[in-house]
Copies of this chain bind each other. A is one copy, B any other.
Amino acid sequence: MSETGAGFAKQAFLNLPAEKRERILRTAVEEFAEGGYEHTSIQQIAAKAGISVGAVYKYFEDKEALFACVVQEGLGVLEQTLQALAATEEDIALKAETILRDLLAFSRENPELIRLYHVLTTSGNRDVLRQFSQRIEALSASVYRDAIAAGQKTGDVRKDVDPSFFAFLLDNIFMMLQFSTACDYYRERFSIYTGRQPEDCDDWIVAQTLMFLKAAFNFK
C-alpha cells in the first residue's frame, strides 16, 4: 500500500529495485542514527551504500529530504508494530504488558530506529517536525487514548482522569524506556539510576513498570 520512500524521495528512487532501495535506506538509517544529522555526510552514506554521491541527489532533493525519507521509513516500521498491538482484543492490563514487552523487544532489535527518532527530536526544521509529530500522533496517541477511554467505559480504568493527558504520560514512559535501551545517554542514565544494565533486566523493567502503571491507572 505505502510505497517505500514515498513523499520525500524523487521518482528515480521509487523506480529502483527494492534491494537497492532498502540497502540505501538501511545504510542511511544506520549512519544518521549513529552520528546524528549533522555528523553524517552524504559521501559517507553513499560510500557505505555502494553508490555514488551523484546518485543520492538523483534520488533525493537534498540531504534533508533523505533524512526525512529515512525517518518516515523508520516510523512506518514502528507504526506497523504499534498497529498490531492496538488490534489485540485483550484485557487492558494484559495489553499493557504485551505492549511494553513488544516495545522493548523492538528497541532491542531496531536500536537504530529508536536512535533515529531521538535524532529527529533535535532537528531544527519546524516543518519536518510538525509533519512527523502528526504522523506519530496518528500512530500512538490515538491508540493509547482510545485504549484508556475504552478502559474507562469498562471500568478497568478510573474515570476521573483525562485520557489525552494520561496517554501522553504513558507514551512518555514508553518512550524513555525505549531511549534507555537504544541511546547512549539514556542507557548510561538508566544504569546510574538503577544500578543495572538495561539489556539484562527486561523482566524486571516490565514487572516494575507494570506495578507503576497499574496503580497509576487503577486497573487490577
* Contact in complex: A161, B122 (CB < 8 Å): no
* Contact in complex: B36, A192 (CB < 8 Å): no
Tell whether A133 is near chain B: CB-to-CB under 8 Å: yes
Interface SS of chain A: helix, strand, loop or mixed?
A: helix
Tell whether A8 is near chain B: CB-to-CB under 8 Å: no
Tell whether A35 is near chain B: CB-to-CB under 8 Å: yes
* Contact in complex: B133, A189 (CB < 8 Å): yes
* Contact in complex: A136, B208 (CB < 8 Å): no
* Contact in complex: B188, A124 (CB < 8 Å): no
Also in contact, A161 and B129, with CB within 8 A (given A120-B185, A168-B190): no
Chain B CB count within 10 A is highest, among A36, A160, A192, for A192
Chain B nearest Cβ from A162, distance in angstroms? 6
* Contact in complex: B122, A164 (CB < 8 Å): no
- Binary B-proximity of A11-51 (CB < 8 A = 1, otherwise 0): 00000000000000000000000011111000000000000
Tell whether A209 is near chain B: CB-to-CB under 8 Å: yes
- In the complex the two chains form, what is the Cα distance from A165 to B124 in whole Å? 32
Tell whether A171 is near chain B: CB-to-CB under 8 Å: yes
Scan residues 163-217 of chain A and give those whose CB is less than 8 A from a CB of chain B. Answer: 164-169, 171-173, 175-177, 183-186, 188-190, 192-195, 204-205, 208-209, 211-213, 215-217
- In the complex the two chains form, what is the Cα distance from A180 to B131 in whole Å? 17
Tell whether A123 is near chain B: CB-to-CB under 8 Å: yes
- In the complex the two chains form, what is the Cα distance from A121 to B117 in whole Å? 13
Scan residues 111-146 of chain A and give those whose CB is less than 8 A from a CB of chain B. Answer: 118-124, 126, 129-130, 133-134, 136-137, 141
Chain B CB count within 10 A is highest, among A161, A165, A185, A193, for A193
| CB-CB nearest in chain B for A193 | B168
Chain B nearest Cβ from A40, distance in angstroms? 11
Tell whether A95 is near chain B: CB-to-CB under 8 Å: no
Given A36-B38, A169-B173, 17 other A-B residues pairs in contact with their CB atoms under 8 A: A36-B124, A38-B38, A38-B39, A118-B122, A119-B122, A122-B122, A129-B184, A141-B192, A165-B194, A165-B205, A166-B212, A168-B190, A169-B208, A171-B193, A212-B216, A213-B216, A215-B217
